[in-house]
Amino acid sequence: MHKINNVYNVSVVKLNLRSFASSGKKIKDFNYQYFQRSNVPTFHFQKSLPRLPIPELDKTQERYLNAVRPLLSKSQYDEAIKRTSNFVAHEGSQLQSKLVSKDKYNKHTSYISDYWFDLYLRERVALPINYNPFLVMQNDVRPEYNNQLVRATNLLVSAVRFMLSLREEILEPEVYHMQPKKSNTPLFRTVTGLLPASLSWYGAYLFKAFPLDMSQFTGLFNATRIPVVNKDKIFRDPTCNHVVVQKNGNFYTFEVLDSDGNLLSPSEIQGNLAQILSDNSKADCELGVLTTQNRDDWAKQRNHLEEIGNKEVFQKIDSAIFNLVLDDVCIDDNKHRLLAHYLHGDGSNRWFDKSFSLIVTKDGVSGINFEHSWGDGVAVLRFFQDIYTETTTKPFIGPDSKPSDKQITVKKLEFNLDDKSKSFIEKARKEYRDWCNSLSIDYILYEGLTKEACKKFKVSPDCIMQLGFQAAHHLLHGNYVGTYESCSTSAFKHGRTETMRPCTDKTKLFCDSLHSNKSTKQELRSIMQECSTYHSELVKQAAMGQGFDRHLFALMKIAEDNGLPRPELYDSFEYKFLNKSILSTSTLSAPSVLAGGFGPVAREGFGIGYSAFPDKLGAAISAYTAHNNSTQFVEALEKSFVDITKVLSE
């Protein structure tokens, strides 16, 4: 996604000056206070965003059967056709009518939004590995700026500036520019900014620019997922102005705004962080490890902890702007250590329930681990990219900056713990250690093929990477399995994600032909180009809300809502086989991203976070050692990339 330029707007600033003057508060420096001051309000396009379409039922049938066909034998596929046709002709048709009717009465949102929140919040498995993804930033090219205190201070300042711009609704709206040279301009902002909110999207469309849904951005800050038996809840309190900081299992808080709402100066923020870093004491009981557990177990334990006097302490953590984690660990350019540290760590210095935790190691390696129920990658990646760019190009402090001793408001949080509490903390610590030890994490950086080289050969870089995953799995196991690629539907109001199914008849033909050694290079190249064309079409369909996974899921939920019997389709072999995501994949490409990933979705599966970089292809692979070995998969993937490169080479 193309980065949108910052635009200064005097009228917006005057408006904010008036609002602060009327409240008796004064902003000292707008240039410092706000990350951006857009002349198009943050949520300007929200009202006119198109609604997520409900696909036609016969199209969903066709797309679903196309997706299951490469996974099934002929007899299994024939059964799937009968079962799906029967569903469409009977229960499916009735459920479609009910879904369309419900959608008409809820024009403020999308048909999938509430169901998707509910799905996440009802899930009882632990958050780390299972759900929380991670992103790691590229290091600053200036080593002296990777000092832990320097980098943490700069990131914290930029993050709060971003948050304040969002609060005042002067953060640039997220817009996808098809032709950025023509639309990413002051004229675009002037025209769309002058249009009424109800028409603004249409104005952007005339520029071939597509505003994206911004509703998830409010979930970034002052938010926590609270464990509750059966279904969690999301807590938000945007009135609070403190951050929570973790170090050595301890929790600290301090205010980042003064009494007039001014962001503390960089040296004052540095002073607060310096005080925390100077405390080398370790927590007697590392409470954060409790957030690594089954949600019902953790809900009961949190209730007990609140009953014995910890309610106010939890309130401080829950309402904090975000969680800043200062780890006493050096990565030392060890990629395996880096991946394990940001995916799960040992749990002692984490609070996985926070909307996101910004983690900075002792050698300044920085990244984010984020809770997934409140939102998807669009909001997180925008925030991540923006604060990375500012801190590496226009940092507020340097290696010679001196911390200030003014405005020091650091408070160390103290917990009341009884023997029962200590016993379940110890139990959680041991279980989490065993769980993490059961995980295998590896990575590949393949320099034989690049993003631009793929485009030169007229094949999609994303398709090439997905072809590599299919070929690697086929090489290891000789079969084809349910494969999940996440695709954002943020072009629509309250869009979340859609599943794109990369395992197709065409990828199956390519892998079979490649591994049989019976096809010529020209034949393989022709099949590969067909794969790429079809892959790009599937991605386009998913992004435009024309996949089938979310639609079928919503129809199942409509049946539940109306107390109707569960259709046979959802308990069929083919539906379950397709939805057992043995290969769960997501692309994490952005200039700021060094690495990213997540855990396997299925015990027998792989979690694959991947990027097509300008100079290489990269992927982080996770798997459970009882079923798979990530290193073996990486070796098979490298062979597959080499084979694909040979096919593409002249």
User: Catalytic residues, which ones?
Assistant: 372
Q: At what angle are helices 505-516 and 461-477 packed, to 10 degrees?
A: 60
Give the SS3 label for residue 595. strand
Contacts of residues 189-194 at CB distance under 8 Å and 24 or more positions apart, as own/partner, are 189/7, 189/38, 189/39, 189/40, 190/39, 192/40, 192/44, 192/45, 193/39, 193/40, 193/41, 193/44
Computed on alpha carbons and rounded to an integer, the radius of gyration of the chain in Å comes to 25
Pair of tokens at residue 561: 């809502």
Please give the backbone phi and psi of residue 452, each rounded to the nearest 5 degrees, phi first.
Answer: -70, -35
**Nearest-angstrom CA–CA distance, 471 and 477:** 10
Bridge partners (DSSP) of residue 486 are 499
Provide CB contacts within 8 A for 517, sequence distance 6+: none
Provide CB contacts within 8 A for 637, sequence distance 6+: 444, 446, 468, 469, 472, 619, 621
**Nearest-angstrom CA–CA distance, 336 and 440:** 10
CA atoms within 13 A on the CB side of 60: 24
Pair of tokens at residue 359: 């983690």
Please give the backbone phi and psi of residue 488, each rounded to the nearest 5 degrees, phi first.
Answer: -75, 140
Query: What is the CB neighbour count within 10 angstroms for residue 72?
Result: 18
Query: What is the CB neighbour count within 10 angstroms for residue 178?
Result: 12
Give the SS3 label for residue 86. helix
